[in-house]
Amino acid sequence: MRYLAICLSALCSAILISFPLQAYEIEGQHRFGPDDANRVLRIISTADVDILEPLMTLYLKGQPDVAIDYTLVSSGELMTAIADEGAQFDLALSSAMDLQIKLANDGFSAVHESSATDLVPEWGNWRNHVFAFSQEEASIVVSPQAFAGLPMPRDRQELINILRRHPERFAGRVATYDLRQSGTGYLFATQDARTTETFWRLMEVMGSLDAQLFCCSGVMIEAVSRGDLAVAYNVLGSYARAREDLADSIAVIDPADITSMMLRTAILLKGANEDALARSFIDHLLRSAWGADTVPEYPFYKWHLDRSEAAAATKPIRLGPGLLVFLDAQKRKRFLRAWLAAIKQE
């Protein structure tokens, strides 16, 4: 009897291991490369698949026995999948820098060092665990139509002045991320609060204009292009600039006082099944991002090669334990309370 019980429990656990209870929400699953590939690199990512597809295709070229399994999730779900549910992936790519740092800090990542990691600037590499492979600007997207007859704002102070002077024109037509929903929005807002003095004033001005709150950059960009919105604050400039079809109906402004740069980061997950593949994929990403050669498949703007004035005002958000501060439940609670008080003004 006892043997049977042991056998049964062993069987149960075997089943549990092979089919783990999946509680995190998947937004999309994609597979690249041959179906009968011997090796499958499992990537969990927050980046839309079409952004990274060319790079992945480039990577798979000349490796007939390798395929990539690409799981698209939100940044919060990525954290849940790895930290809470122990989902089996080889690589995590995310725009949520704070969560990536937390994963690395809490010991879910593995160290990686190669000639490619040497290319990464010092601020883009945290203890050889977290590697930045893009810089994306937090921009102000405006509708040129809405600003007809008005000067275009160049920084936050000018935006505040214009909004204050023309409340009738902008009432109900200003927007930003809903920090309660969006990790990227929360990251940008907390960095703004830390690095600029004008952030809270801007939030109050926007609150007085009945600011609209959105989940994602894409929606805001489209709303601006339709003319529904006049100003969308802290929108991913990389997304806005990528929409060439909307180039005439939107204007993208990188605040001249300071433009926070979000870094998309990659971490090698501890206990990766395809450790070698994961490492070579990270190297591939980093070479495309930081190498001197132009890689047409690389989807992001290479700000580090830009010597213009606009690039001089950019400031990459610092990777490091400081990012853990805003993940603290108490801190988040207080910050959101203050922010809601400003933006909602109820």
Partner 1 sequence: MTEIPQSSGSLSRRLTLQLMSGAAILATMLYFVVLNVARDLAETSQDNILFASATAILEATSVQGEEVEVDIPYGALSMLGNVSDDRVFYRISVADTFLTGYRDLPQDPQENGAGSRYFTDTYKGESVRAITVMRRISLNAQAADVAVTVAQTRTGQMATVARMSQVALISGAGFFTVAAVLAVLTARSAIRPLNRLAGSVSRRGPKDMRPVIGPVPSEMVPLVTSLNRFMARLKTSLTRSEDFIAEAAHRVRTPLATVRTQAEVLLRRVDREENRHSLREMIRAIDESSRAAGQLLDHAMVTYRTDHLERERIDLAELVRELVARLQPVAELKDLTLVADLEGDAWLHGDAILIQNAVRNILDNAIKYSPRERKITVSVKRDGESINLQVTDEAGGFPTEGSALLTERFARGQNSAGTVGSGLGLTIAKEVAEAHGGSLILNNTKDGGGACVTLQFV
Q: Contact residues for partner 1 (CB under 8 A)?
A: 104-107, 126-127, 194, 318, 320-322, 324-326, 328-331, 334
The distance of closest approach from Cβ of residue 259 to partner 1 in the complex, given in angstroms and rounded to an integer, is 19
Of 165 and 334, nearer to partner 1 (C-beta) is: 334
The distance of closest approach from Cβ of residue 20 to partner 1 in the complex, given in angstroms and rounded to an integer, is 22
Closest CA to 126 of 319, 278, 272: 319
Give the H/E segment covering residue 42.
strand 39-45
DSSP 190-246: HHHHHH-SSHHHHHHHHHHTT-EEES-HHHHHHHHHHTS-SEEEEEEHHHHHH-GGG
The distance of closest approach from Cβ of residue 83 to partner 1 in the complex, given in angstroms and rounded to an integer, is 12
Distance CA 98, CA 76 (A): 11
The distance of closest approach from Cβ of residue 96 to partner 1 in the complex, given in angstroms and rounded to an integer, is 17
Per the DSSP assignment, residues forming a β-bridge with 30 are 70
Of 153 and 316, nearer to partner 1 (C-beta) is: 316
Closest CA to 260 of 121, 156, 163, 340: 156
Of 291 and 321, nearer to partner 1 (C-beta) is: 321
**Residue 19: count of CB within 10 angstroms of its CB:** 8
Distance CA 151, CA 232 (A): 17
State the greatest distance between any 2 C-alpha atoms of the chain, in Å, as a whole number. Answer: 86
Of 10 and 338, nearer to partner 1 (C-beta) is: 338
The distance of closest approach from Cβ of residue 209 to partner 1 in the complex, given in angstroms and rounded to an integer, is 28
Q: What are phi and psi of 132, to 5 degrees?
A: -80, 140
The distance of closest approach from Cβ of residue 97 to partner 1 in the complex, given in angstroms and rounded to an integer, is 13
Per the DSSP assignment, residues forming a β-bridge with 135 are 263
Place of tokens 């890689």: 295
The distance of closest approach from Cβ of residue 212 to partner 1 in the complex, given in angstroms and rounded to an integer, is 28
- Beta carbons within 8 Å of 29's beta carbon, 6+ residues apart: 69, 70, 71, 72
Of 226 and 331, nearer to partner 1 (C-beta) is: 331
The distance of closest approach from Cβ of residue 287 to partner 1 in the complex, given in angstroms and rounded to an integer, is 22
Of 92 and 104, nearer to partner 1 (C-beta) is: 104
Of 46 and 105, nearer to partner 1 (C-beta) is: 105
The distance of closest approach from Cβ of residue 331 to partner 1 in the complex, given in angstroms and rounded to an integer, is 5
Of 105 and 139, nearer to partner 1 (C-beta) is: 105
Of 20 and 322, nearer to partner 1 (C-beta) is: 322
CB burial of residue 56 (10 Å; 0-12, 13-18, 19+): buried
Residue 181: what residue type?
Q
**Residue 248: count of CB within 10 angstroms of its CB:** 9
